[in-house]
Structure 1
Amino acid sequence: MARAIVLRLLTMQARTRRELSDALRRRNVPEEVAESVLDRMAEVGLVNDAQFADAWVESRQQRRQLSRTGLRRELQRKGVERELIEDAVGRVSGEDEQEAARALAEKKLRSVRGLDPQVQRRRIAGALARRGFSGEVIGSVLRELPFGAEDDDSAEAFS
């Protein structure tokens, strides 16, 4: 039964060992049985938190434009060990992070186009901050966006 549960969950999407362990616990699978099944799945390569973390970082950083901080938070919630998180997130360069922030800001800019430039800046800065980008990255991205020349100084507040 435990093996079938794990395989069904892994068929839908990759998962961490803790996510699978939690799912088995919710289905009242005895802990010894769950550990045995998860150990076997790890042996055959179906459960690998290091590979999961690497794939998660690549996917989320590109598709959802998350910062290194945001990626760390998500992986921690999924139960990935701190060392594996740092290895995976460490592969994201400052340039990659800047590019993700820029892509998110440009996307957000399209949705706030008709608003006052000050409001546009605030909303974009808020969106970037919620994704975990630093003030330095936010300020840099805001300075690159075409808001209009009349209030370029407001980007300085985020650097």
Structure 2
Amino acid sequence: MGDFERFYNKALRFLSFRPRSEKEISDKLKTQKASPVIIEKVISKLKEQKFLNDEEFAKWWIEQRTTFKPRSLRLIKLELRQKGISKEIIESRIINQESRGDLERAKELVKKRIEKFRDLSKKEIYQKLGSYLARRGFDWETIKQAIDESLFKRV
């Protein structure tokens, strides 16, 4: 088996776990000591066979991050940039999510977590929920508004 086939099979195995970006495949093959020429050929063949598509990957990543591990759009954009997705693709894919907005996502997260803190003071609830939402990339205004609205509904 030649180098191309060996690295192509490694790339397919890597793709079998979840969709990947071109950069992720390239980085993985670099760690496996593939030459730049082989990496380019493998990526080209994967794209040709429609196993690799950064636009579809961005769509999938955004759906996963807004559904299963809710994050702010700002943090999702950062994650996609780190995965090598172009700004144009990110902006075109994120527009659909902006209608729902970060505030709605933050309120959903607060709603899920607030019962854990029902015995705490208002200040402690703010601290715990605030740091929880901040770790998920929400800005302070969104955090404050989501917590305020949830606390007033609860009282």
TM bin, normalised by shorter chain, reads 0.7 to 0.9
Match of 1:129 in 2: 134
Give the deviation of 1:94 after TM superposition. Answer: 4.3
Give the deviation of 1:53 after TM superposition. Answer: 0.4
- Aligned-partner SS, 1:66: coil
Match of 1:153 in 2: none
- Alignment pair present for 1:95 and 2:100: yes
Match of 1:53 in 2: 58
Please say if residues 15 and 52 of structure 1, whose CA atoms lie closer than 8 Å, have aligned partners that are also in contact.
Answer: yes
Unaligned runs of 5+ in 1: 150-159
Give the counterpart of 1:104 among 109, 124, 128: 109
Give the deviation of 1:35 after TM superposition. Answer: 0.5
After superposition, the C-alpha distances for 1:77-119 in whole angstroms (9 at most, x for unaligned) are 2111121112222221243432211111122212222221111
CA distance in 2, matches of 1:88, 1:7: 25
- Please tell me the residue identity of whatever aligns with 1:139: K
Unaligned runs of 5+ in 2: 1-5
- Identity %, equivalent residues: 28
Give the counterpart of 2:69 among 64, 80, 89: 64
CA distance in 2, matches of 1:129, 1:94: 21
Give the counterpart of 1:142 among 141, 147, 153: 147
Give the deviation of 1:140 after TM superposition. Answer: 2.1
TM-score (structure 2 length as normaliser): 0.87
- Alignment pair present for 1:37 and 2:42: yes
After superposition, the C-alpha distances for 1:108-152 in whole angstroms (9 at most, x for unaligned) are 212222221111012112222222223332222112113676xxx
- Please tell me the residue identity of whatever aligns with 1:109: I
Q: Which runs of structure 1 show a deviation greater than 4 angstroms over 4 or more consecutive aligned residues? A: none
Give the deviation of 1:72 after TM superposition. Answer: 0.7
CA distance in 1, matches of 2:63, 2:18: 15
- Aligned-partner SS, 2:96: coil
Greater mean alpha carbon deviation, residues 83-92 or residues 127-136: 127-136
Q: How many residues of Structure 1 are paired with residues of Structure 2 in the alignment? A: 149
TM-score (structure 1 length as normaliser): 0.85
CA distance in 1, matches of 2:19, 2:115: 33
Give the deviation of 1:47 after TM superposition. Answer: 0.4
RMSD: 1.7
Please say if residues 75 and 85 of structure 1, whose CA atoms lie closer than 8 Å, have aligned partners that are also in contact.
Answer: yes
Match of 2:89 in 1: 84
